Amino acid sequence: LQRQKEHEVVSEPFHFGDALVTEVRAKKSILVVGLDPQFEYMPPSLAEEMQRAFGSTTEAICRMFHAFNTEIIDAVAGVAVAVKPQIAFYERYGVWGMWAYEQTIKYAEKHGLLVIGDTKRCDGGDTAGAYANGHIGEVPFWGETPNPREPRYGPSTIRVHATTVVPYIGDNCLSRFVKLVREHGSGIFIVDKTSFVPNSSVEELDTVGGVKVWQSVASMIKHWGVGTEGALGYRSVGAVLGATKPDDAEWLRGELPDSWFLVPGYGAQGAGPKDAVLSANPDGLGCIVNSSRGITYPYMDFKNKRYVSNPNDYKTAAFRAAESARETLNNALKCADKYNF
């Protein structure tokens, strides 16, 4: 995979934390667009076309996902700083699903977008290493000879700029990812506090240290981020922080002043713009906000003429929804006196 080859803003060598700063400033946007293709939400016109061309097959479904994603990427490329394909929606279709995931990454990178692969992987030892190699590093490949004891290493076809990691297994998992953050300039967002309710979860348990588990995880994120700071001041080891209470957002920002937070749950999942930007630094940097369905599927609301009045205008709908989300988030930053990038 090319790393920003056609995209001139980001300086080499690649550093994810720096790249995000540069992109946010260049696009005046903290918006991330989630690419979570679901069969039931595909535009009927596109579905008909794909079914006609490829039959009632898994191939047709995944080619439809790819075609849909390319339209969305074209629409949002100037407005969003990154796209975030959620791998679950691809991998459940097996080989063809993985094809759509690969092609989507490639297309987004080519069109100047950072790509955050939302994989939430979690394992330890060599297995964590294999996940890290695949998603943000290099995989073993044929060397000069066919002898497997003499491999060379190269980027996998699913490599992204940054991925998400779950901390349950702890150091034995995180260390493998952080090693590659250091070697390749890639980024990771460690899942800390999610936006799901009700919260009967591990992350909300109270520990004897007087803090919740997610606060204890914040210490891990802090520890593993040391030394990943870029020239522009931000680390490549960040956190996933669901839109949450003001106190919690403030607490986490205090712990991790120079980490990027990936904030899911905006839009369709219910959080408002004010909540979504709670953790931003005074310079307006430090958090990026994801919206998936709110950007990709507003065309389904065509009967209410929200953005468009024809379901085939899904690309226009995505563009308008993304522009609107960018403005709304920037306004929320302005109200908090943080629109300073």
Interface residues for a second copy in 29-68 (CB under 8 A)?
Answer: 36, 38-42, 44, 47-48, 51-52, 56-58, 60-61
Q: Applying CB under 8 A, does 20 fall inside the site for a second copy?
A: no
Which of 110/293 has CB closer to a second copy?
293
Which of 165/289 has CB closer to a second copy?
165
Q: Applying CB under 8 A, does 139 fall inside the site for a second copy?
A: yes
What is the spatial distance between Cα 218 and Cα 195, in angstroms, rounded to a whole number?
Answer: 16
Distances (CA, A) of 115 to 32, 161, 313: 9, 5, 25
The token pair at 110 is 């080519």
C-alpha torsion sign, points 186, 192, 196, 200: positive
Chosen residue from 2, 5, 9, 95 binding a second copy by CB under 8 A: 95
The 178-217 site mask, x for binding a second copy (CB under 8 A), equals -------------x--x-xxxxxxxxxxxxxx---x--xx
| 198: preceding bond cis by omega (within 30 degrees) | yes
Least distance to a second copy, CB of residue 79, Å? 24
Least distance to a second copy, CB of residue 122, Å? 5
Burial 57-93 (b: 16+ CB within 10 A, else e): eebbbbbbbbbbbbbbbebbbbbbbbbbbbbebbeeb
Does residue 28 carry a catalytic annotation?
A: no
Q: Applying CB under 8 A, does 299 fall inside the site for a second copy?
A: no
What residues have CB less than 8 Å from 158, skipping those under 6 apart? 98, 101, 102, 105, 117, 134, 135
Count CB-CB contacts under 10 A for residue 143.
13
Which of 134/286 has CB closer to a second copy?
134
Which of 112/117 has CB closer to a second copy?
117
What residues have CB less than 8 Å from 173, skipping those under 6 apart? 122, 123, 124, 128, 165, 166, 167
Least distance to a second copy, CB of residue 314, Å? 12
Active-site residue identified among 28, 106, 110, 120 = 120
Q: Applying CB under 8 A, does 237 fall inside the site for a second copy?
A: no
Which of 99/339 has CB closer to a second copy?
99
Least distance to a second copy, CB of residue 118, Å? 8
What is the spatial distance between Cα 304 and Cα 281, in angstroms, rounded to a whole number?
Answer: 37
Q: Applying CB under 8 A, does 123 fall inside the site for a second copy?
A: yes
Distances (CA, A) of 124 to 177, 194, 217: 10, 22, 16
Q: Name the segment binding a second copy (CB under 8 A); options: 14-22, 151-159, 243-251, 313-321.
A: 151-159
What residues have CB less than 8 Å from 40, skipping those under 6 apart? none
Least distance to a second copy, CB of residue 126, Å? 8
The 154-183 site mask, x for binding a second copy (CB under 8 A), equals --xxx-------xxxxxxx-----------
User: What residues are labeled active site?
Assistant: 120
